[in-house]
Amino acid sequence: MCHDCSAGTAAPLGAPAASRRSFARFLAAGAGLTVLAACTPEAPAQVPPSSASASATSHPPVTPTPTPESTTAAPAPEAAAPAAPSPTPSPSAALPRQFSLTDPDSPWLIVNKHRPLVPADYVPADLVRPSIAMTASGEASLLNSTTAAAAEAMFAAAARDGVAMVLASGYRSYATQVATYNGYVAARGQADADTASARPGHSEHQTGWAFDIADGNGACGFQPCFADQPSAVWAKANAHRFGFVVRYPWMFHPVTGYYYEPWHLRYIGVEAATDMANRGVNTVEEYFGVEAAPGYP
Ligand SMILES: [Zn+2]
Mean pLDDT of all residues belonging to the chain:
80
Distance 293 CA to ligand 1 centre (A): 17
Higher-confidence residue: 105 or 70? 105
Closest-CA residue to 205 (of 235, 242, 167): 167
Rounded to the nearest angstrom, the distance between the alpha carbon of 181 and the centre of ligand 1 is 14
**Cα–Cα distance for residue pair 228/40, rounded to 1 Å:** 25
Dihedrals phi, psi of 97, to nearest 5 degrees: -105, 135
Tell me, yes or no, whether 83 lies in a domain: no
> Does residue 295 belong to any structural domain of this protein?
no
The four Cα atoms 231, 253, 57, 44 give a dihedral, to 10 degrees, of 110
For the question of whether the overall pTM of this predicted structure is more than 0.95, the answer is no
Residue 172, in any domain of the structure: yes
Residue 196: predicted pLDDT? 83
CA 225 to centroid of ligand 1, rounded, Å: 16
Distance of CA 31 from the midpoint of ligand 1 (Å):
23
Is 82 a domain residue? no
Helix, strand, coil content of the chain in percent (nearest 5)? 40, 10, 50
Residue 205 CA to ligand 1 centre (angstroms): 6
Looking at residue 18, its pLDDT comes to 40
How many whole angstroms from 102 Cα to the centroid of ligand 1? 19
Grade residue 161 by pLDDT with cuts at 50, 70 and 90.
very high
The burial of 233, by beta-carbon neighbours within 10 Å (0-12 exposed, 13-18 middle, 19 or more buried), is given as middle
- Is it the case that residue 2 has pLDDT exceeding 70? no
Could you list the residue range(s) of the whole structural domain that residue 251 is in?
5-73+90-288
Question: What average pLDDT does this structure show over 257-262?
Answer: 95
In a domain, 148, yes or no: yes
pLDDT score for 34: 34
In a domain, 297, yes or no: no
Residue 89 has a pLDDT of 86
Question: Is residue 200 within 8 Å of residue 177, measured between CB atoms?
Answer: yes
Three-state secondary structure readout of 123-182? CCCCEECCCCCECCCHHHHCEEHHHHHHHHHHHHHHHHCCCCEEEEECCCCHHHHHHHHH
- Asked if residue 84 belongs to a domain, the reply is no
CATH number for 268: 3.30.1380.10
| Residue 284 is assigned to a structural domain of this protein | yes
The dihedral over CA atoms of 214, 216, 219, 225, expressed in degrees to the nearest 10, equals: -40
Provide the number of structural domains found in the chain. 1
Ion ligand 1 neighbours, Cβ < 5 Å: 59, 212, 264
Question: 81 pLDDT exceeds 90?
Answer: no
Could you tell me the pLDDT band of residue 86, with boundaries at 50, 70 and 90? low
Give residue 57 CA to ligand 1 midpoint distance, Å.
Answer: 10
Give 8 or 189, the one with higher predicted confidence: 189
